[in-house]
Amino acid sequence: MDKLMSDLKSQIIAQLNLQDTKPEDIGDDQPLFVEGLGLDSIDALELIVLLQQHYKIKLSNADDGPKVFHSVRTMAEYITAHQAQHA
Amino acid sequence: MYIRSTGNISPQKTFGHQPLVDAVVYTGNRLACIEPDYKAFIDPKQIRRMSRIIRMGVAAAMECLQEAGIKEPDAIVTGTAYGCLEDTNLFLSKMVEFNEDLLTPTAFIQSTHNTIGAQIGLLLKSNHYNNTFVHRGFSFESALLDGMMLLNENEATNVLVGAIDEITNPSHAILNRMALYKQGPVSNLDIYKTRSRGTIAGEGSAFFLLAKEPSGKDYAKLDGLHTFYKPAGDSEIEEQLNAFLEKQGVKYNDIDLIITGNNGDAGGDKVYEQLAKSLFQNNDLINYKHLCGEYPTASAFAMWLGATVIRSGELPAVLNYTGSAGKKINRVLIYNHYLGIHHSLSLLSAC
């Protein structure tokens, strides 16, 4: 899980072009949107693309978005659960 | 109407209203803009979504507005031939790479030609008139004409007009393959001497705040603008020039300086050389494309140069001016053509 979260932080920084942000600046449980990293709706689309590109996961239910993309940890948990389901 | 302020990012040190003293020398066939520290002009959170051309456009526009002391112009009008090439290239590459699936939304959103005008509007929180013209070598002139009409028809009291074009690695490679640029190393200072085919690639972002009323600290007056498309030959070009100046009530000996668009291409420069022997034979002439390179909206750099020379009264050595030293420059004519297709004339005068 720690390795996955570390990878995710680097991928988020690259995908969203978060200049001046380092992986260690993003907390595992820090909210990604609004008060946390300050991401917005366009970033949400970029995160959906990130999941598809790197983990072959298509977010089938849009209502899951806020829960899945709440933090790096929730994203990692979603990926792990999805991979276990499809193993 | 009056040019109240300017903002210019170019391959020379023009940003920050620095006086043009020494030319930045390039060897090769490509000149790249000297970019400022954008964080002074754009919120870092917003910079991350902006490609290079958007940053150049926004920063030049902001500098122009700051100089004029205007927070929100009545209209924003931009001109660009190529648009946001970097984002377009990224978007199209991803389409191919991911088999038309998994497209990154940011590159798509930012790849449209009107992104720069829109970003300026968003940053200013402005809902005023916002338009972008994409007409190849007439893109800047079309934007300028729109701005002039808005002022003339009392639709606006001030208008931000700008032109932006970038050169990217893929676009440079494609245009190079089409033999637009010189082959082999050449200094930008020597392009007029080469007598060979092709020119040097350039790019730039130049903005102007046009106002209907004088402010007392304007750069220059913009007296007239005229464009003509694919002239049949030198005689038609001369007719267009004569008609334009007659309409403006100006004779050739009333013009203190003519800025011509020579770019070092032996074929394209013939028209300028012919005019230097005929209609312009008694005028002082300078060129500018050794400073900014050739691109479809390069005439915006010429307008910045003309306005700057009128206001400062200085003709730095980089312009290779051969007229009388200390001569007051009150009236400037700019004649430019892009690939022999799009020809434009602009007339500036001292306020």
- Has residue A21 been placed in a domain? no
Q: Is the pLDDT of residue B253 over 80?
A: yes
Distance in angstroms (rounded) separating the CA atoms of residues B340 and B319: 23
User: What are B210's two structure tokens?
Assistant: 């046009």
**What's the domain range around A44?**
2-15+26-85
ipTM above 0.90, yes or no: no
Distance in angstroms (rounded) separating the CA atoms of residues B203 and B53: 9
Q: Return contacts of B150-155, CB within 8 angstroms, 24+ apart.
A: B150/B74, B150/B75, B150/B77, B151/B1, B151/B210, B151/B211, B151/B212, B152/B1, B152/B212, B154/B212, B155/B74, B155/B75, B155/B129
Alpha-helical regions (H) of chain A: 2-16, 41-55, 65-68, 72-85
Distance in angstroms (rounded) separating the CA atoms of residues B19 and B260: 21
Domain CATH for A64 = 1.10.1200.10
Residues B64 and B207 sit within 8 Å (Cβ to Cβ): yes
Query: What kind of fold does domain B221-349 have according to CATH?
Result: Peroxisomal Thiolase; Chain A, domain 1 (3.40.47)
The alpha-carbon radius of gyration of chain A (Å, integer) is: 12
Q: Is the pLDDT of residue A20 over 90?
A: no
Whether residue A42 and residue B45 make contact (CB cut-off 8 A), yes or no, is no
Residues in B closer than 8 angstroms to A20, CB to CB, are 44
- Quick: pLDDT tens for B205-236: 999 999 999 999 999 999 999 999 999 999 99
* CA B129, chain centre distance (Å): 21
Reference B280, options B234, B339, B233, B229; nearest CA is B234
Whether residue A19 and residue B48 make contact (CB cut-off 8 A), yes or no, is yes
CA distance B119 to chain A (A): 15
- Quick: pLDDT tens for B45-101: 788 889 999 999 999 999 999 999 999 999 999 999 999 999 999 889 888 988 888
* Contacts of residue B153, Cβ cutoff 8 Å, sequence gap at least 6: none
Residues in B closer than 8 angstroms to A52, CB to CB, are 101-102
Buried b (16+ CB within 10 A) or exposed e, B49-76: bbbbbbbbbbbbbbbbbebbebeebbbb
Whether residue B106 and residue A49 make contact (CB cut-off 8 A), yes or no, is no
- Has residue A20 been placed in a domain? no
Count the residues in chain B: 351
Residue showing tokens 């038609």: B236
Reported CATH class of domain B2-211: alpha beta
User: Which pLDDT score is estimated for B99?
Assistant: 86
pTM attached to this predicted model = 0.93
- Has residue A68 been placed in a domain? yes
Distance in angstroms (rounded) separating the CA atoms of residues B171 and B181: 12
Q: Is the pLDDT of residue B102 over 80?
A: no
- The total domain count for chain A is 1
What's chain A's average pLDDT? Answer: 91
Cross-chain CB nearest to B48 (options A17, A49, A52): A17
User: Which pLDDT score is estimated for B287?
Assistant: 97
Distance in angstroms (rounded) separating the CA atoms of residues B157 and B73: 8
Where does chain B hold its CATH 3.40.47.10 domain(s)?
A: 2-211, 221-349
